[in-house]
Amino acid sequence: MILKKLYSNLSTLISVNGRIFFIMYNNKPVLMNTELLNSIVVTLESIQLCIGHGNLSDAYTLLRKYRDDSFLFLYFLEIINNFDITSPNTKEQEHFYNWCHNNLNHLTIGKIFQYLIKNKDIKIIKK
């Protein structure tokens, strides 16, 4: 499965190249590791198994999880790319901090889409 290999390779690349994704939140560094990418890889493997056994409703549920995790990863990357150490904390940085500490509540895919649509590259694609 090409997507599974892509995410797995991306996870490995992030782990071994020494690039650290982080933001400062309340004067503390918050690091992003590859947990989310690894979760995506395992989800893709599970989808493949479900389809192989004919469990299409389970595969569809996992497909929604795959979508949510993929966009959450893009959301976090966008937060990190927009991070400015001289600016005050944002609501999005708080989401990132809370996710890293297993306290994220009430973040919907719609809110993620609203934030991502503001990206200048997406605006170019949209035209």
d(CA 16, CA 86): 29
Query: pTM of the prediction?
Result: 0.75
Give the chain's largest Cα–Cα span.
53
Phi (first) and psi of residue 17, to 5 degrees = -85, -5
Q: What is the pLDDT of residues 34-62, one digit of tens each?
A: 778 788 888 988 999 999 999 999 999 99
Between these two residues, 76 and 11, which has the higher pLDDT value? Answer: 76
Write down the pLDDT at residue 33.
66
The pLDDT value given to residue 97: 84
Q: By C-alpha distance, which of 71, 78, 90 is closest to 26?
A: 90
CA distance 82 to 91: 13
